Amino acid sequence: MSLKCLLDGHGRSAIPFVDPMNPDRPVTLNTYRPLGHKPENPVVFVQHGMYRNGDEYRDFWIAAADRHGFLVVAPTFPNAHFPETEHYNNGLVFDDEGRVRPYDAWVFATPARIVAELRRSGVMAREKARIYGHSAGAQFVHRMISTHGGDCFEAAVAANAGWYSLPTLDKPFPEGLGGLGFGEKELRRLFAYPLHILAGLNDCESNAPNLPSQPEALAQGPARLDRARYYFDFGKQAAASLGVPFLWRFTEVPNVAHDGNAMSQATAGLWFEGRIPSGLGTAAEAAA
């Protein structure tokens, strides 16, 4: 189905998308087009969490989309084709034998191809979109920026990730970026991108459900808040060691735990109103 169908109406849609580099693993684009939307308006990509619930994550952004007129695109990577952490959070970098797959076939390249198709279809007139991910989606987003850059995304937010791929070649992926054929050039590109790390101040439980607990994750801190702080500080020090600009941002969101809805509202507020909205809740494990 052509994405031109998004120009035919308004509201929610669920559109199949086949990435030509992974034709046997189709995804679904859960979208929302507000009334009065035009192709020149912003486009926001939303990366869901571990439950593969792109429809819910899309809906978290509907109120902001109606206020600000942007198109929401939530690529949903279904359990049927992306059942494990390796397939989604870690981007399907390795094959079943543990060998590195072709670079363009990593799932981290899929969002850029969706952007290209939106542009070809006339749905999107801008050169760049924005991308937000929460929890497992935040793992996806920061690894996507780390490995494939952000040429087609003017802004990227990774919120409440369970753990991070550190910007170092001394540790193997996904703990670091080693073993993928990268060098200092990719690290410089990563530090020069305005990656924004968001962390809920109440997302600080060391025994939280679904919190990664392998030794590499625990080395980054006991809870998601600690790990976000560790990742940002590690990146800042690594950039300083290379003597290169460090353009990342880090924001702690008060009164919010592991809540995909509240962190979506916080991100929408920062992007389109220049502030975090007041009155965000403290719900735990909301649409992880």
User: Which whole-number Å values give the CA distances from 173 to 84, 100, 128, 169, 281, in the listed order?
Assistant: 16, 10, 28, 9, 35
**Quick one: pLDDT at residue 148?**
98
pLDDT digits (tens, 9 = 90+) for 58-107: 999 999 999 999 999 999 999 999 999 999 999 999 999 999 999 999 99
**Quick one: pLDDT at residue 265?**
98
**Quick one: pLDDT at residue 59?**
98
Helix (H, G, I), strand (E, B) or coil at 198: strand
- Determine, yes or no, domain membership for 282: no
- Determine, yes or no, domain membership for 232: yes
- Cβ-contact 172, 166 below 8 angstroms: no
- Determine, yes or no, domain membership for 288: no
- Determine, yes or no, domain membership for 287: no
Total structural domains within the chain? 1
- Determine, yes or no, domain membership for 57: yes
- Determine, yes or no, domain membership for 278: no
Residues 263 and 59: their CA atoms lie apart, in Å, by 13
**Quick one: pLDDT at residue 286?**
47
Q: Between 224-242 and 184-191, two packed helices, what is the crossing angle to 10 degrees?
A: 120
**Quick one: pLDDT at residue 6?**
87
**Quick one: pLDDT at residue 8?**
84
- 117 exposed, middle or buried (CB, 10 Å; 0-12, 13-18, 19+)? middle
- Determine, yes or no, domain membership for 281: no
Q: Which domain holds residue 188?
A: 3-273
Residue 58 sits in a domain whose CATH number is 3.40.50.1820
Q: Collect the ranges in the chain with pLDDT lower than 70.
A: 1, 282-288
Task: Give backbone dihedrals phi and psi of 110, rounded to 5 degrees, phi first.
Answer: -65, -45
- Determine, yes or no, domain membership for 145: yes
